[in-house]
Amino acid sequence: MFTLISKITYFFIAPENWIIALLIWIFLSRSKIARKRLTIIVILLVLFFGNSFIYSSLVNAWQPRPADLVNRVPYEAGIVLGGSSSFDKYGRGYFNMSSDRFIETCILYKTKKIKRIIISGGSNGPNQPKDADFQYKKMIEMGIPPNDIIVENASRSTFENATFTKTIIDSLRLQPPFVLITSAMHIPRAERVFKKAGLAVISYPCNYYVIPGEFYFFDYFIPKVGTILSWSTYLKEVVGVVGYSVFNKA
**Claim to verify: residue 171 and residue 120 sit in the same structural domain:** yes
- 211 lies in some domain: no
Range of the domain at 16: 2-63+222-249
**Claim to verify: residue 81 and residue 179 sit in the same structural domain:** yes
**Claim to verify: residue 18 and residue 92 sit in the same structural domain:** no
pLDDT by residue, tens only, the chain of 250 residues: 545 556 677 788 899 999 999 999 999 999 999 999 999 999 999 999 999 999 999 999 999 999 988 777 799 999 999 999 999 988 899 999 999 999 999 999 999 999 999 999 998 777 789 999 999 999 999 999 999 999 999 998 999 999 999 999 999 999 999 999 999 999 999 999 999 999 999 999 999 999 988 888 888 889 999 999 999 999 999 988 887 777 665 4
- 70 lies in some domain: no
Is the entire prediction scored with pTM above 0.85? yes
- 12 lies in some domain: yes
**Complete DSSP assignment for the chain:** -HHHHHHHHHHHT-HHHHHHHHHHHHHH---HHHHHHHHHHHHHHHHHHT-HHHHHHHHHHHSPPPP---SSPSEEEEEEES-SEEE-TT--EEE-TTTHHHHHHHHHHHTTSEEEEEEE---SSTTPPPHHHHHHHHHHHTT--GGGEEEE----SHHHHHHHHHHHHHHHTPPSPEEEEEETTTHHHHHHHHHHTT--EEEEEES-S-------HHHHHS--HHHHHHHHHHHHHHHHHHHHHHHHH-
**Claim to verify: residue 112 and residue 184 sit in the same structural domain:** yes
- 213 lies in some domain: no
